[in-house]
Amino acid sequence: MLWIKQIVNGLIEMYGTRDVYELLNYLEVTLMRKELFKNEKGRFFRDMFGNETIFISNNLSEEEEKIVIAHELGHLILHTDLNTSFYTKNHLINKNKLEMEANRFAAELLIPDDVEIYENETISQLACRLNVTEDLIKLKFRKEA
């Protein structure tokens, strides 16, 4: 999924940041925190006028919130033909192509290419240090076939 890495790098270069909150501002995407359905962590909505809103559960940790926002930004940027998407508790095990692309977008956005990996550092330790999930670490560094 080299094309996703290229899109993310272009976005970072254009706006000079990989911070999800700054990107929301630059892209004029509204963020709303609210109580969502039971297993739902986030969703995005694009109306018929092109206005875009990301809704996130108000029960998320700071780390989880950034990951959900990055994932939903992935849908907004990569899947321009979608009007809505849902981010649920088990999103990373969802093998749907669009969900995998949004997950890859989040991994590329949240984890810099030049991140230093310490000798004998485990995936779990790296994920903890970068405040991301182990699944995003695995996606970021997975070798493409």
**Could you give the residue numbers annotated as active site?**
72
* Residues near 103 by beta carbon (within 8 Å), at least 6 away in sequence: 71, 74, 91, 92, 135, 136, 139
Any idea which residue has 């359905």 for tokens? 37
Per DSSP, the three-state class of 57 is strand
